């Protein structure tokens, strides 16, 4: 019998894809400027790590070539790559010889207000918490339901992002961003050992800070660490750095370390 979509017969194609059925796959969201995919090496490195940990046989060299060709055609915007384990029969067991499916989707670049980067943003205190799962921690896998629920908690334009905590109350990341604190001149970011996504901009900023002599540390942070920080900012491969000016009752100004890193990132991404 033929499958249906929205009450109508479905042409053969994606209906048995394990990415659609189970979230069995990975994705990357790559900024494209002047026909060039930004930070592609870092995106591919994270993708290779995800393929290894999920035991998906992604051909990274092939993906590199396809993304570059797609970016040339796209010109400006965002290239979203979805890599799934491909088709499977009913049930959770992975196919013995999966045929990995590669899907590239293009969209315009997000039009974020410039004041987010210059003046900073207010951060919404999400009640949805991130589950602890070390096997998936750091990966950009297809199951984003925690982020969907968290983003659905607010609709006011007062907040540009939301903060997500681990089950034990540790601050981990934004809904679509990574989190950094500055304390006594040291750059700190939460460890992602049991939850969270290891963003490519996060990795780039850690490398830049180390090269510029800014002491950095990846560690378990508490909510008190966040509230007592001298500077707070978020980062993402699409927008770079957004300073945080308010979270709950805490307020911050845009500090010198944040501004210095913004300048360094802007030079690289020009």
Going along the chain from its start, the domains and CATH numbers come out as 15-107 (3.30.470.10), 115-269 (3.20.10.10)
- Cα distance between residue 45 and residue 47, in whole Å: 5
- Report whether 31 contacts 109 (CB < 8 A): yes
For range 107-118, the mean pLDDT: 95
From 28, 84, 161, 173, the catalytic residue = 173
192: its two tokens: 């992602």
Question: Up-side HSE of residue 92: CA atoms within 13 Å toward CB?
Answer: 0
Confidence of residue 11 (pLDDT cuts 50, 70, 90): low
Secondary structure (DSSP) of the chain? ---EETTEEPPSSSTTBHHHHH--EEEEEEEEETTEETTHHHHHHHHHHHHHHHT----HHHHHHHHHHHHHHH-SEEEEEEEE--B--SSSSPPSS---EEEEEEEPPP---THHHHT-EEEEE----BPP-TTTTB--BS--HHHHHHHTT---TTEEEEEEEBTTS-EEEESSSEEEEEETTEEEEE--SSSSB--HHHHHHHHHHHHTT--EEEE---HHHHHT-SEEEEEETTTEEEEEEEETTEE-PPPHHHHHHHHHHHHHH-
163-174 pLDDT, tens digit per residue, is 999 999 999 999
Q: Choosing from 28, 29, 189, 231, which is the catalytic residue?
A: 29
**For residue 10, what pLDDT band results from cuts at 50, 70 and 90?**
low
Place of tokens 């709950």: 248
Residue tagged active-site, from 140, 161, 189, 231? 140
Q: What is the pLDDT of residue 90?
A: 77
80 catalytic, yes or no?
Answer: no
Q: What is the pLDDT of residues 25-74, one digit of tens each?
A: 999 999 999 999 999 999 999 999 999 999 998 899 999 999 999 999 99
Q: What's the CA gap between 18 and 84, in Å, rounded?
A: 7
Helices 40-54 and 60-74, axial angle in degrees (round to 10): 140
Band (7; pLDDT cuts 50, 70, 90): low
Calculated CA dihedral for residues 176, 146, 152, 83, nearest 10 degrees: 60
CA pair distance 176, 25, nearest whole angstrom: 18
Is 173 labeled as catalytic in the residue annotation?
A: yes
According to the model, what pLDDT value does residue 1 have?
38
Judged by phi (left if over 0) then psi (alpha if -120 to 50, else beta), residue 41 lies in: alpha
Confidence bin at 211 (pLDDT 50/70/90)? very high
**Mean per-residue pLDDT, 92-108:** 87
Partners of 5 in the β-ladder = 8
Out of 17-26, 72-81, 157-166, 233-242, least confident range: 17-26
Radius of gyration of the chain (CA): 20
260 catalytic residue (yes or no): no
Per-residue pLDDT, 155? 96
β-pair partners for 247: 123, 250
Report the C-alpha gap between 257 and 181 in whole angstroms: 10
Q: Name the percent of the chain lying above pLDDT 90.
A: 82
| pLDDT digits 0-9 by tens, 121-164 | 999 999 999 999 999 999 999 999 999 999 999 999 999 999 99
What is the tens place of the pLDDT at every residue in 77-90?
A: 999 999 999 887 77
pTM of the complete model? 0.92
Average pLDDT, the chain: 93
């Amino acid at each position: 019998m033929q499958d249906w979509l929205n009450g109508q017969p479905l042409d053969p194609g994606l209906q048995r894809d394990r990415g659609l059925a189970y979230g069995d796959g990975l994705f990357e969201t790559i900024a494209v400027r002047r026909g060039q995919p930004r930070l592609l090496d870092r995106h591919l490195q994270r993708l290779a790590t995800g393929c290894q940990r999920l035991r998906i046989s992604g051909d990274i060299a092939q993906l590199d070539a396809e993304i570059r060709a797609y970016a040339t055609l796209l010109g400006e915007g965002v290239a979203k790559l979805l890599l799934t384990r491909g088709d499977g029969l009913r049930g959770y067991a992975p196919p013995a010889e999966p045929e990995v499916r590669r899907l590239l989707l293009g969209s315009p670049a997000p039009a974020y207000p410039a004041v987010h980067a210059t003046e900073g943003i207010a951060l919404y205190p999400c009640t949805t918490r991130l589950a602890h799962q070390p096997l998936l921690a750091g990966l950009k896998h297809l199951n984003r339901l925690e982020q969907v629920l968290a983003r659905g908690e607010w609709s006011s334009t007062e907040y540009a992002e939301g903060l997500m905590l681990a089950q034990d109350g540790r601050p981990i990341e934004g809904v679509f961003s990574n989190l950094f604190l500055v304390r006594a001149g040291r750059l700190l970011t939460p460890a992602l050992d049991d939850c969270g996504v290891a963003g490519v901009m996060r990795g780039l900023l850690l490398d830049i800070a180390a090269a510029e002599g800014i002491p950095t540390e990846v560690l378990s942070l508490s909510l008190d660490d966040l509230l007592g920080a001298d500077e707070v900012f978020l980062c993402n491969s699409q927008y770079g750095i957004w300073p945080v000016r308010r979270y709950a009752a805490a307020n911050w100004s845009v500090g010198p370390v944040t501004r210095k890193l913004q300048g360094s990132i802007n030079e690289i991404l020009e």
